[in-house]
Structure 1
Amino acid sequence: MIHRSTFQSVSLAALLMLGASACQPVSAAGGALPAPTVDTLGSAAHSEQVAVLAGGCFWGVEAVFEHVRGVNEVIAGYSGGDADTAHYDEVSAGDTGHAESVQVHYDPALVSYGTLLRVFFSVALDPTEQDRQGPDVGSQYRSVIFYANPEQQRIASAYIAQLGAAKTFPAPIVTKVAPLRAFYPAEAYHQHYFQLHPYNPYIVINDAPKVARLQQLFPALYRLDRQVVEVQLH
């Protein structure tokens, strides 16, 4: 496993080259994935909804969804294990049952659950990688859709089946659909990491290309997060 701290020694020129080549599309089509044929039924639910997704290091997944219109808040954290092991040092050992996850709070009148999954599979991760994403290896980096209710389970399972039947990816999708037992927010220094540390080498290489790809593939959904502007101005 390559620890995130090893990226600190990479030169800026190398970072720019690596960042430009990172996160290339793995879908057969090479572009945005098709919209789910099964999605939420209209916009009957006007209250804020929550989705919990795991797709490798939570810094990058959080960054992607913080730039999606209709998303109100994204929290980095842990899901899949117990409360007493929901701490970064323990989760990093890979034997707690936790996966690094994000809790996405969104307005269903502006963005559907199915659309969030479309972004997730198109931009945030490679769903064919087992127990890893990019340089991060271990069960804590596995990809999981943690469903909170039967509707989320139905939509997630149907979308994976849809993408699999269409052979959208060159290898089978290994992303699991599992019940949400609990979500535990990560330590404060992990929150909004992309916005607060835009020039961190790990961010430049692994996560900035994901946000750029979101803007490229989903321009109508993309927004420049207010926190990014604040970071750039100071």
Structure 2
Amino acid sequence: MRWRHAIAATALALGASACQQPLLAAEKAVEAPAAKRAAKEGSGLKTAIFAGGCFWGVEGVFSHVRGVTSAVSGYHGGTERQAHYKLVSSGITDHAEAVRVTYDPKVIRYDQLLRIFFSVVTDPTQLNRQGPDVGAHYRSAIVSLSAEQNAVAKAYLAQLRSVDLWDKPIVTRIERAQAFYPAETYHQDFMLKNPRHRYIVRWDAPKVKALKALYPGAYSARFQPD
């Protein structure tokens, strides 16, 4: 919801919580199946963009994935002039809160990132919301940055729709690549810098724990605070 970040900087300065979220059930982690179509990406670092609700949690999870070298919170779509939190959170722009992930496909492939995304990051049955956060800017979406990513994403969505993991239909969509604008500095590495923030403890830390439990081989503790 809009209040989630709107007073974040002030709340952190005062030592107060920016979140007074309602008592909703936390998003449930599932063990999504391994992709039948493995990504063929060659060598060299690759980039992917994922939108799955609040970018704090999306960034927090992917920062703990082995083979990921960078995870940047930001806004995908819309215009540069509108790409700042106040406007995006108002819901009047076409942006989505998203995370740009840079990864080494020799360590973690794109299809494996998709598996993690659907297992612990996003609930693909929630339309224009995730957890307590409501609005199209919190939509669940995959942004294809290459023909290979597009083909792998389409195949994996079709695979997920053929299994009975969720009670409702999958609404996650594949979006065409547009400009990505990094978010304000205080949003970057938010989970790392604010591990005791009420929103992080309630909604995002469980996602990192689920990553470690479900995919211990893919989990890395290098970004974890002391």
How high is the TM-score relative to the length of structure 1? Answer: 0.87
The residue number in structure 2 matching 1:28 is none
- The answer to whether structure 1 residue 8 and structure 2 residue 17 are counterparts is yes
Q: In the superposition, relative to structure 1, how do residues 115 and 186 fare at CA in structure 2: closer, same or farther (>3 Å)?
A: same
Q: How does 1:1-234 map to 2 (within 5 A)?
A: 1=1, 3-4=3-4, 8=17, 22-25=26-29, 31-41=30-40, 45-226=42-223, 228-229=224-225, 232=226
Q: Secondary structure at the match of 2:217?
A: coil
Find the aligned partners of 1:199 and 1:113 in 2 and give their Cα distance.
31
User: Do the aligned partners of 1:95 and 1:139 also contact (CA within 8 Å) in 2?
Assistant: no
Q: Secondary structure at the match of 1:84?
A: coil
Amino acid at match of 1:186: A
Amino acid at match of 1:139: A
Q: Secondary structure at the match of 1:51?
A: strand
Find the aligned partners of 2:48 and 2:192 in 1 and give their Cα distance.
21
Find the aligned partners of 2:178 and 2:18 in 1 and give their Cα distance.
39
Amino acid at match of 1:33: A
C-alpha displacement of 1:186: 0.5
User: Do the aligned partners of 1:23 and 1:209 also contact (CA within 8 Å) in 2?
Assistant: no
Find the aligned partners of 2:204 and 2:180 in 1 and give their Cα distance.
23
1:31-71, Cα deviation, whole Å (9 max, x unpaired): 41111111212xx6211000000000000000000000000
Instruction: Give the aligned CA root-mean-square deviation in angstroms.
Output: 2.2
How high is the TM-score relative to the length of structure 2? Answer: 0.90
Find the aligned partners of 1:108 and 1:218 in 2 and give their Cα distance.
17
Q: Secondary structure at the match of 1:83?
A: coil
C-alpha displacement of 1:24: 2.3
User: How many pairs align?
Assistant: 216
1:159-189, Cα deviation, whole Å (9 max, x unpaired): 1110001132211111110111111100111
Find the aligned partners of 2:173 and 2:138 in 1 and give their Cα distance.
12
Find the aligned partners of 2:28 and 2:161 in 1 and give their Cα distance.
20
Q: In the superposition, relative to structure 1, how do residues 200 and 101 fare at CA in structure 2: closer, same or farther (>3 Å)?
A: same
1:95-148, Cα deviation, whole Å (9 max, x unpaired): 210000000000000000000000000000101000000000001000110111
Amino acid at match of 1:3: W
C-alpha displacement of 1:2: 6.3
Q: In the superposition, relative to structure 1, how do residues 189 and 39 fare at CA in structure 2: closer, same or farther (>3 Å)?
A: same
User: Do the aligned partners of 2:62 and 2:68 also contact (CA within 8 Å) in 1?
Assistant: yes
Q: Secondary structure at the match of 2:17?
A: helix
In structure 1, the gaps of 5 or more residues are 12-17, 26-30
Q: In the superposition, relative to structure 1, how do residues 48 and 89 fare at CA in structure 2: closer, same or farther (>3 Å)?
A: same
Amino acid at match of 1:23: E
User: Do the aligned partners of 1:57 and 1:133 also contact (CA within 8 Å) in 2?
Assistant: yes
Structure (1/2) with the larger helix percentage? 1
Q: In the superposition, relative to structure 1, how do residues 9 and 97 fare at CA in structure 2: closer, same or farther (>3 Å)?
A: closer
In structure 2, the gaps of 5 or more residues are 9-15
